[in-house]
Amino acid sequence: MLRVTKLTDYATVVLTALASDPEAVLSASELAERAGLEPPTVAKVLKPLAQAGLVEGFRGANGGYRLARPADEIGLLDIVTAMEGPLGMTECSVHAGQCGIEASCGVRANWRRINDVVVDALREVTLAQMLAPPPPAPRSRRIALRLAPT
């Protein structure tokens, strides 16, 4: 099963808490309270988010964190990449030369296409959209994907 890590999920929750009040500078403890998370967990996710340029920190008595750019300019791909590194369905989706059967592999091209679809889907959903109530679920969802011939 494909899943994002708990820390990536928590990072999204923290970022939505910041996005819900974009002008405020919130301390890690205030963010923890708003997000319903433990302060050490919030502190742990803020570091990679700041390193990725998604949040900016301010020191001092009134210090804290706020979004580094508007929520509609932060895609879920930015968050996943900040927390987990480049997205790859398989190792060869990200790094060539990491597999002993790469030269003769008949499925590599298809995994890369699937990887590209997932990356595009994460890029298209913004943090601002995550604040909105979800739209009604469609009856079924189909992803247009053509696999390469083997």
pTM for the whole structure: 0.81
Query: What is the spatial distance between Cα 68 and Cα 6, in angstroms, rounded to a whole number?
Result: 23
pLDDT reported for residue 105: 78
Token pair, residue 129, equals 């959209």
* Residue, of 104 and 41, whose pLDDT is higher: 41
pLDDT over threshold 90, residue 82: yes
Tell me the domains of the chain and their CATH numbers: 6-131 (1.10.10.10)
85: alpha, beta or left? (left if phi > 0; alpha if psi -120 to 50): left
Higher per-residue pLDDT: 76 or 110 = 76
CA distance 90 to 108: 9
Task: Please list, in sequence order, all residues whose beta carbon lies within 8 angstroms of the beta carbon of residue 1, skipping any fewer than 6 positions away.
Answer: none
